Chains A and B, each alone.
Chain A
Amino acid sequence: MSPSKGSGKDLDDKFIDLIGKFVSDIKNGKLRGSNNIALSMVTLLETIISDSQNATAYELCTAVRAAGRRVAAALPHELVASNVTRRILRAVRDENRAHANQVNQTVEGSGESLQRLVLAAGARRATLGAAQHDLREPLRDHIAELRGELESSVSSVCGQAKEHVHGDEVILTYGASALAEKFLRAAPRTYKLILAEGPETAESHAMAHRLSTAGISVTVVSSASIYAVMSRVNKVVISVSAALGGGAVLAAAGLSAVTQAARHYSVPVLALAPLYKLCPVHATDASYFNALAPPHSALPYERHECASDNVHVYAPMYDFAPPDHITLFITNLGGSSPSYMYRLLSELYDPNDYNL
């Protein structure tokens, strides 16, 4: 029976405690930044795997999946946590397949394919029941590898900065992002930067200040002037919260204005997306992922006289850009076009895990 169908037994209490602590750290702001969250999630899952009693593939999958579901239910907008869960599940399946592999299979990847269809290969489905091997040891290697990849992802993305940003260019970036900042620092600093403030103005300004002290010439503009300055911009570099299936992008509120203006002026848009941000869900627009921030950021509470029962104030946190607005995704493995994202996704995750 496929683990995705059965509910399985629930996690042990100590695991639930660990998950609770993890979630509260994120909610309190002690754990910030997607990279840190990803690493912590890996540690959490590693603990669960190491401490689980029954180490068969099926059991491990169930446990990991249950943990992933809990975290996703508590933090629906931390897609990175779900992605890490899927990576680990894929690792488990791969190990299991390698172990149980008696048939000489020449098929690559784990998903469906025409080739597989035609070759009528045997264990195409997610049947993990048979194997009873203890997979913990090989899994540890996988997890270590995953951790290494997470830690180096930032530097490998930034290492590509030199290829994309040249001197005397005008670069536009939007909002505050640690990854974008590192990327811009890694590039030769002769370019001019226009920083459009994002919904978190204080952090955007702080980033502008830091970059300017690093020797980059920075112009700060408000989020209403993006179209006006876009005609002079050579490239747009943005950091995203998640890269969705199909090549669409989920990012901070207001990003769609940037990508639409860039498209209008045919300015290339580079989206920085380390692999752990790749999410196999498809979403056609932002309504899939609505989170509302406190309305104070849109209309300060002091202006309460403007508000009455008739007035609604919204301050969404996320925004959505369709795949044709993005020119290039910069991942750890190099640049890739939005139409190729499906390939990266199929390499990272097993299709059965797309819905945790």
Chain B
Amino acid sequence: MKKEEVQEIFLKIMKEEEDVSAGVAAIRTLLSVIENYKVTTVRELDLNMQLAVEAMKHCDQPVTAISSGCELFMRFITFAKLDFTDFEECEQIMLQRGNIFLNTLLEARGKVAKQAMPFITDGCKILTHSRSRVVLQAMLEAAKANKRFEVYVTMSCPDNSGELMHKQLVAGGVDATLILDSAVGYIMEQVDIVMIGAEGVTESGGIINKIGTYLLGMAALELKKPVYVLTESFKFSRIYPLDQQDLPKEFKYLSSVLKSGKDLTKEHPLVDYTPPAYITLLFTDLGILTPSAVSDELIKLYL
């Protein structure tokens, strides 16, 4: 199995299906690895998996979601390995479970959107940051339910993904306005709630998200606006950053930048860490959680 092949599969999924998040794409890649690359022992399979994950992390795609999704998948797979002597059977079971897992994840977004609906009230003004598919789905569903609300979207440099979000919102019939990242403080007093997605949820209950989220959280706390994070549960990861510097480098910078050996202190990070104190509630497919509940869930799973 070659690294480049894995990367190819992964990138293909990412490119062709805009709607799929990086984590889900990664899991699908892993599933296809199991399917296509036949091995004879469990250990070989493990190795393959690890190699595949490594390969995907070097694709210049956001690593946060990839890493948490894959870790969860690995754990999931592990449970299947135990009782079966025949490797073939084992593999079949794994694939089966894998598909169940995948299907569950695909429904997660819908569940999250449903949970967030009551919090989008008529006449409310929402501020969101950059592009999040979950938030987009939640808002489009609310618009379909004939709720009238306004959305302010930050442009979110450097890749201006906020513009895409704005376009999609407007196409869905939502009254959306694009604002500068630096205008967040200015606009904050007018909005009612802040709704953002997350690339990863840390064990502390904080989130890792596109750079600029931390500032948004600080402004919202100061002006007493609630911050709601909409995220699927497979994004929960076990890392516990103490501060911004403590975030793993792979999350912050593209793999190509890391490889090129440039001076990282002069590079712009892609993500930042928002501590749990700035987050009011997390909407996940497991329910509406307070930031302190995240750790609870993770402990139940891993310990």
Contacts and interface: CB of A to CB of B under 8 A. Distances in A.
Interface of A: 111-115, 117-120, 245-247, 282, 284, 323, 339-343, 346, 351
Nearest to B296: A343
Given A111-B287, A118-B101, 15 more contacts: A111-B286, A112-B285, A113-B286, A114-B72, A115-B301, A117-B104, A119-B79, A120-B97, A282-B118, A282-B119, A284-B119, A284-B193, A284-B226, A323-B290, A342-B288
A117 B236 contact: no
Contacts of B290: 246-247, 323, 339, 341-342
Q: Is the interface of B mostly helix, strand, loop or mixed?
A: helix
A115 B300 contact: yes
A119 B226 CA distance: 34
A342 B233 contact: no
B286 A112 contact: yes
A115 B193 CA distance: 31
B38 interface: no
A232 B109 CA distance: 50
Nearest to B226: A284
Interface of B: 72, 75-76, 79, 97, 100-101, 104, 118-119, 193, 226, 233, 236, 280-281, 285-293, 296-298, 300-301
A120 B296 CA distance: 19
Contacts of A351: 287
B300 A114 contact: yes
Contact of A118 (B75, B119, B289): B75
B287 A246 contact: no
A120 B72 CA distance: 12
B238 to A, nearest CB: 11
A247 B236 CA distance: 23
B102 to A, nearest CB: 11
Among A114, A120, A343, A351, find the residue whose CB has the most chain B CB atoms closer than 10 A. Answer: A114
Contacts of A111: 286-287
Contact of B293 (A115, A323, A343): A343
Given A114-B236, A115-B300, A342 B289 contact: yes
A343 B119 CA distance: 21
13 contacts: A115-B297, A115-B300, A118-B72, A118-B75, A118-B101, A120-B101, A282-B118, A282-B281, A282-B288, A284-B226, A341-B290, A343-B293, A346-B287
A41 B72 CA distance: 44
Contacts of B300: 113-115
B200 to A, nearest CB: 14
Contacts of A339: 290-293
Contacts of B79: 118-119
Given A246-B290, A284-B119, A114 B101 contact: no
Q: Which 5 A-B pairs have the closest CB atoms?
A: A339-B292, A114-B301, A112-B286, A115-B300, A115-B301
Contacts of A245: 288
A114 B233 contact: yes
Given A112-B285, A112-B286, A112-B287, A118 B76 contact: yes
Nearest to B121: A287
Nearest to B73: A118
B117 to A, nearest CB: 11
B103 to A, nearest CB: 10
A343 B281 CA distance: 14
A349 to B, nearest CB: 11
B149 to A, nearest CB: 15
Nearest to A323: B290
Contacts of B75: 118
B163 to A, nearest CB: 30
A247 B292 CA distance: 12
A225 to B, nearest CB: 25
B100 A114 contact: no
Contacts of A284: 119, 193, 226
A106 B296 CA distance: 17
Contact of B101 (A113, A115, A117, A346): A117
A114 B286 contact: yes
Contact of A113 (B119, B226, B297): B297
A245 B290 CA distance: 9
Given A284-B119, A339-B292, A340-B292, A118 B301 contact: yes
Nearest to B108: A117
Contacts of B72: 114, 118
Nearest to A108: B300
Contacts of A113: 286, 297, 300-301
Nearest to A345: B287
Contacts of A340: 292
